Structure 1
Amino acid sequence: MTDRAAARAAKNALADRLSAQSGVVGIGLARRDTGYVVKVDVADADAAGRVPRDVDGVRVVTEVVGAIRPLRSRTA
């Protein structure tokens, strides 16, 4: 079981490694049955293929979510 502190450290290490990778749109923590995992949201399957399956013994899961764009504000 991975605790939150170990997962947070792995997330920070992975964020440094992936910061220059195109297609990575988000990195966070998620709870699973086995404790915490690092969750990486990517724009497409090509980007998912460049994400490692674990970092420092912490499992990494990816999800293809597509491109992320800011919401446009509406004027009332």
Structure 2
Amino acid sequence: MTTNNPTAPELRGAVWRKSAYSGGNEGQCVEVADLTAAASPGQRGVRDSKNPQGPALLVPAATFTAFMTGLKTGAFDI
């Protein structure tokens, strides 16, 4: 993949799931996909569920896991 901002058509095969921490029906929804079987193996995709044809952020799977672990353990001052 040659772009830093892939869109849905470029990530065929990705299975997107809404984050359990999304804001319900308030429009604050994030979707995540494990891209091991898609066009970017070993990556996680993150996108805005309100714009599924728009760009997705790609993050190495290990980095995404470390970030989520940090969120859950309170490592960030948010």
Q: TM-score, normalised by structure 1?
A: 0.28
Q: TM-score, normalised on structure 2?
A: 0.27
More strand by share: 1
Q: Which has the larger radius of gyration?
A: 1
